[in-house]
């Protein structure tokens, strides 16, 4: 009996191996039907593992984005270039003024090698347009320590999941 080239992913090592193999195949730009089928199969296996093991349902998409920016030593200006959007739009996303568009979600998921679901989640926006300008805000922006605590939570959740491919 012949041994299968790929099997259902059983551990993080195998997940990483299949992810690396998929990346190599995709960047090889082969037009071969066999390679396209292999890419499709690896994608299904990886998506199945992700669906069964990711716990990013607890992670705020903006906090996740900030985490990835910190891990990849990126600044808001790097996001402007990556996403092909204005500095103002990136600022509004990072400050909870505007939600992420489908195109932005797609580009972020592709760049950080995560499922679209990681960024395609509902989160509360800070909308000051309905506030009276003379009234002080009750909700203060997150302090550095609060942000650090949220990043710690993200790190903990991510270490328990395969949200990150590395």
pLDDT band at 19 (very low <50, low <70, confident <90, very high): confident
**Is the predicted pLDDT of residue 111 greater than 70, yes or no?**
yes
pLDDT digits (tens, 9 = 90+) for 74-85: 999 999 999 999
Euclidean distance between CA atoms 28 and 30, whole angstroms = 6
- Which pLDDT score is estimated for 118? 85
Lowest-confidence pick of 20-24, 35-39, 107-111, 136-140: 136-140
- Which pLDDT score is estimated for 54? 67
- Which pLDDT score is estimated for 130? 41
Q: Give the global pTM.
A: 0.52
């Amino acid at each position: 009996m012949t041994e299968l080239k790929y099997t259902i992913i059983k551990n993080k090592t195998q997940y990483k191996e299949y992810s690396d193999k998929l990346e190599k195949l995709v960047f090889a730009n082969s037009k071969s039907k066999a390679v396209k089928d292999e890419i499709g199969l690896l994608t299904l296996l990886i998506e199945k593992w992700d669906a069964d093991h990711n716990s990013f349902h607890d992670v705020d998409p903006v906090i996740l984005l900030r985490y990835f920016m910190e891990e990849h030593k990126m600044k808001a200006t790097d996001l402007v270039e990556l996403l092909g959007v204005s500095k103002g739009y990136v600022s509004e996303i990072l400050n909870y003024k505007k939600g992420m568009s489908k195109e932005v979600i797609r580009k972020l998921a592709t760049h950080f090698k995560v499922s679209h679901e990681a960024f395609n989640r509902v989160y509360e926006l800070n909308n000051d347009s309905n506030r009276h300008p003379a009234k002080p805000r009750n909700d203060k922006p997150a302090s550095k320590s609060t942000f650090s605590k949220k990043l710690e939570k993200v790190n903990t959740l991510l270490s328990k999941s395969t949200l990150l491919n590395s």
